[in-house]
Amino acid sequence: MNHTHLLHELVQEASLRSPETEALVYREDTLTYQALADACQRFAGAVCAAGLTRGDRIAIYLEKRFEAVIASFGACWAGCVFVPINPLLKPEQVAYILRDCGVRLLVTTTDRLPALLPALVACPDLLHIVVTPHLPDEVPAIDGQPLQQGWDEFHQSGTSPLHRVIDSDMAAILYTSGSTGKPKGVVLSHRNMIAGAKSVASYLENRAGDVVLAALPLSFDAGFSQLTTSFHAGARVVLLNYLFPKDVLNAIDRHHVTGLTAVPPLWIQLTQSTWGEQSGRTLRYVANTGGRMPRNTLDMLRARLPQARVFLMYGLTEAFRATYLDPSQLDLRPDSIGKAIPNSEILVLRSDGTRCAPNEPGELVQRGPLVSMGYWNAPEKTAERFRALPATVAGGRTELPLPEIAVFSGDTVRMDDEGYLYFIGRNDEMIKTSGYRVSPTEIEEIVLATGLVLECAAFGVPDPTLGEAIVVIAHTRADEKVDSARLVTACRRLAPPYMVPARFVLAPDRLPRNPNGKLDRTLLGQRLQPAEP
């Protein structure tokens, strides 16, 4: 029985159970659990020797590699808080995150440092920069810049006793891209992350023999989950920084991968790629997160991988993971996001806090140990999303000395008579047209089902007659002549009149992504804004 309570204990306990088992694979190199645990502990000791105190933030601006994992778990081992930063972010975006949460130590690479240093002048809390594999030969001289050390030099600078850690302490701050404004830092405790690892690993049935491909960014909650669920089970993780879908397919076959979690844009690309006759046959499960997988993509994936169990998941960074659909239910309800994950409860509530009736749309509210600690240094935003449960539901009883805090997702869902949930849309993205509330996701699935486009994004734009007109930006197939009129005709065959897009904007290239690999809806929406006079 695993009694892990702290994040770094996932590595520590795995090293005690099976020290010579491979924990990580990166390019041609491997790390055993014993080597990983030793490296994490050395990093923790060096952090304390550098003078960082309990709760100090350590930012990690690296692609997926051994040092990114060592710094993340080592920071927690020291009693500090790790802040993973997506390697696709630009220097000014990195500097915003460093300033926002007062980062004291930054881990980055030799190649990234020169471009990053000018932006770090505006980060007064930053005291140390650790560069892997070593410091560049020439570094711009900037007044007041933090102490810079190479990775090996930092580890050899000495160690100090580690700070005490308990499971309610902060472990990580994950920054969400959001649809508007600056990113928000979601604060996760050790308890949040361990509860999430145990819950997800239980229904994915992760085991010591698994080989999990880490294709998502580690700054994405589902991406970091590939590490925590695997380490909980004593499995092996393959770190992959892919450029093309073929890189993912090659890694699956080369490493005999048994588990892969991805977001819908990657699944769409993979199903449209060329697979070898035996490609992917080692996959025991595949999982989707970060948005609903289009029905035709799901069908194609299941045809490609008949032996793999397909898990459709839904979650939000504020509570890590919320629901999953048991693979046995795919044929019965392929559009469902399933039921609550183990050790979590999902409620569907009206605006007055009362429960919705079966199939009545309402807001998804999550309670349980996965609910995070709120947004870093943002009390007003935290109060909007993290609220006391109403007295009408379990946990909200007025007799309790302290109210239970749940996360109110802002997502509209419905729950059927059997307790299965169905995603309708984001409250702040719903399109109001012709008196109907329409989900952009639903429109996008209709357009994809025409078979004429590769990917698309739906928006509502002001219209004097309709309230909002539906406009879709679509990346069309190169092998077919597609125009707006043909798309409208095809959609009319699949949807009622009020759901047919009024206009299509055809894009010759792939649609832009945000750092987590999802479609960048903010940037796409700007394309629809009228030009300044």
Strand partners of residue 187: 173
- The predicted model gives 14-30 an average pLDDT of 97
The answer to whether the beta carbons of residues 87 and 61 sit under 8 Å apart is yes
Supply the angle between the helices 66-77 and 33-49 in degrees, to the nearest 10: 60
Taking the C-alpha atoms of residue 38 and residue 20, their distance in angstroms, rounded to an integer, is 12
- The predicted model gives 97-118 an average pLDDT of 96
The answer to whether the beta carbons of residues 261 and 206 sit under 8 Å apart is no
Strand partners of residue 457: 473
- According to DSSP, residue 327 is labeled G
Taking the C-alpha atoms of residue 128 and residue 62, their distance in angstroms, rounded to an integer, is 16
The band of 144, judged by pLDDT with boundaries at 50, 70 and 90, is low
Taking the C-alpha atoms of residue 221 and residue 375, their distance in angstroms, rounded to an integer, is 15
Length of the chain: 533
How far out from the chain centre does Cα 235 lie? 20
Instruction: Examine domains 9-165 and 429-526 and report if their fold is the same.
Output: no
CATH fold of the domain at 429-526: GMP Synthetase; Chain A, domain 3 (3.30.300)
Residue for token digits 């125009």? 483
Q: Is the pLDDT of residue 470 over 80?
A: yes
Helix (H) or strand (E) holding 91: helix 91-100
* Domain ranges, ordered by start, for the chain: 9-165, 429-526
> What string of DSSP letters covers 250-277?
HHHHHHT--EEEE-HHHHHHHHTS---T
Q: Which residue has the higher pLDDT, 79 or 396?
A: 79
CATH fold of the domain at 9-165: Rossmann fold (3.40.50)
Taking the C-alpha atoms of residue 301 and residue 457, their distance in angstroms, rounded to an integer, is 21
Q: Is 326 helix (H, G, I), strand (E, B) or coil?
A: coil
Please give the torsion angle defined by the CA atoms of residues 446, 409, 221 and 71, in that order, rounded to the nearest 10 degrees: 160
Q: Is 490 helix (H, G, I), strand (E, B) or coil?
A: helix
- The predicted model gives 197-214 an average pLDDT of 97
> What string of DSSP letters covers 357-384?
PTT--EEEEEESTTS---BTT-HHHHHH
pLDDT in tens, 361-397: 999 999 999 999 999 999 999 999 999 998 878 666 6
The answer to whether the beta carbons of residues 131 and 106 sit under 8 Å apart is no
The answer to whether the beta carbons of residues 456 and 484 sit under 8 Å apart is no
The band of 142, judged by pLDDT with boundaries at 50, 70 and 90, is low
Q: Which residue has the higher pLDDT, 497 or 110?
A: 110
